């Protein structure tokens, strides 16, 4: 199954007087880049959330936002940091002594300073929060992946249509090739006859010249490789897993063959078909950038 790298997922989970909301959205990126924004109460669970995301997503710039609301009293503990308090007191007394000012340090004033006291969730509350985080993240991921899957299907359908058109162009080039050689033979024959003023033309020499030129103009090898790449692209689009990188490689290879066909061509019709091929391949490459 193919997944688009762009997607959106939203999920809410409520348990009693607590509610969590998770929002996941992503855009194209060469690798997996996960950004997580959490309510302060959930900050200690960032690593678990990242791991949940990495289990389901392999590419894309993914932004995850999880918020927490509670209308009831939470199980919390107040922790006192004596080292931080002592550091504040020592610094304040040193400042009072250095500038000869009144030392009016009180417990209340120290308690107001940052990180002297910290309110943290009780251990049993942390476990409960993690369970909620997992449920809300899984729910948002399900919606997100379904959205990505639907968009991925549309991309694959569009790519298959373009590959169908490529196959028609390749067939047209193959049908044109014999006529190119025959037309070259007639032009060469006419030119030689004119130079020899209608004298007898050496058919063996003419055949040799035509063979040499046909070999220079021949794109059979390029066509075989191009058809092989097209077939492999079809199989890749119908396969599982990370197909974006493989499709990008195949598109580069198809473009290389199309360039060679164009460089060998002296025929206007084949040149036009070659340009059409390159245009289709470029459109395919643009769409592939959206595939995971």
Reported as a single tens digit per residue, the pLDDT across 177-201 is 777 666 656 666 666 566 555 556 5
Residue 57, CA distances (Å) to 4, 62, 64, 149, 197 in order: 11, 9, 12, 12, 75
Query: What is the extent of the structural domain holding 226?
Result: 152-288
Within a domain: 1: no
The verdict on 215 and 255 lying in the same domain is yes
**What pLDDT, on the 0 to 100 scale, is given for residue 191?**
63
Residue 274, CA distances (Å) to 47, 89, 174, 264, 277 in order: 51, 80, 12, 10, 5
The verdict on 146 and 279 lying in the same domain is no
With a pLDDT cut of 90, the percent of the chain lying above it is 40
27 forms beta bridges with 61
Rounded-to-integer distance, Cα 259 and Cα 204, Å: 33
**What is the gyration radius of the CA atoms in the chain, in angstroms?**
35
**Tens digits of residue pLDDT in 15-67:** 888 899 999 999 998 889 999 999 888 888 899 999 999 999 988 999 999 99
Residue carrying structure tokens 């997996």: 32
Specify the CATH number for the domain of residue 143. Answer: 3.30.230
Within a domain: 104: yes
The verdict on 139 and 189 lying in the same domain is no
Residue 111, CA distances (Å) to 96, 103, 117 in order: 19, 16, 7
**Tens digits of residue pLDDT in 55-111:** 999 889 999 999 998 876 555 667 888 888 889 898 988 988 888 888 888 888 888
**What pLDDT, on the 0 to 100 scale, is given for residue 223?**
84
- Distance linking the first and last C-alpha atoms of the chain: 10
């Amino acid at each position: 199954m193919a997944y688009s790298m762009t997607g959106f997922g939203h999920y809410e989970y409520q348990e009693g007087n607590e509610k969590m909301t998770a929002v996941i959205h992503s855009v194209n990126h060469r690798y997996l880049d996960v950004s997580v924004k959490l309510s302060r109460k959930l900050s200690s669970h960032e690593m678990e959330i990242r791991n949940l995301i990495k289990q389901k997503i392999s590419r894309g710039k993914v932004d995850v936002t999880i918020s927490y609301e509670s209308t009831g009293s939470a199980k919390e503990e107040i922790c006192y940091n004596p080292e931080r308090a002592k550091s504040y007191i020592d610094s304040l007394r040193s400042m009072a002594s250095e500038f000869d000012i009144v030392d009016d340090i009180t417990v209340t004033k120290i308690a107001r300073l940052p990180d002297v006291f910290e309110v943290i969730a009780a251990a049993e509350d942390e476990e409960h929060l993690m369970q909620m985080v997992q449920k809300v993240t899984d729910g948002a991921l399900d919606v997100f992946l379904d959205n990505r899957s639907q968009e991925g299907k549309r991309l694959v359908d569009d790519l298959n249509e373009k590959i169908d058109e490529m196959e028609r162009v390749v067939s047209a080039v193959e049908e044109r090739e014999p006529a190119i050689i025959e037309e070259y033979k007639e032009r060469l024959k006419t030119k030689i006859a004119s130079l020899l003023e209608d004298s007898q033309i050496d058919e063996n020499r003419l055949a040799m010249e035509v063979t040499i030129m046909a070999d220079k103009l021949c794109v059979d090898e390029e066509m075989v490789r191009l058809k092989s790449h097209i077939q492999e692209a079809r199989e890749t689009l119908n396969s599982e897993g990370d197909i974006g990188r493989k499709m990008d490689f195949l598109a580069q290879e198809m473009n290389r063959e199309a360039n060679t066909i164009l460089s060998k061509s002296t025929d206007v019709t084949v040149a036009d078909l070659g340009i059409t091929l390159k245009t289709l391949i470029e459109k395919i490459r643009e769409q592939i950038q959206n595939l995971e």
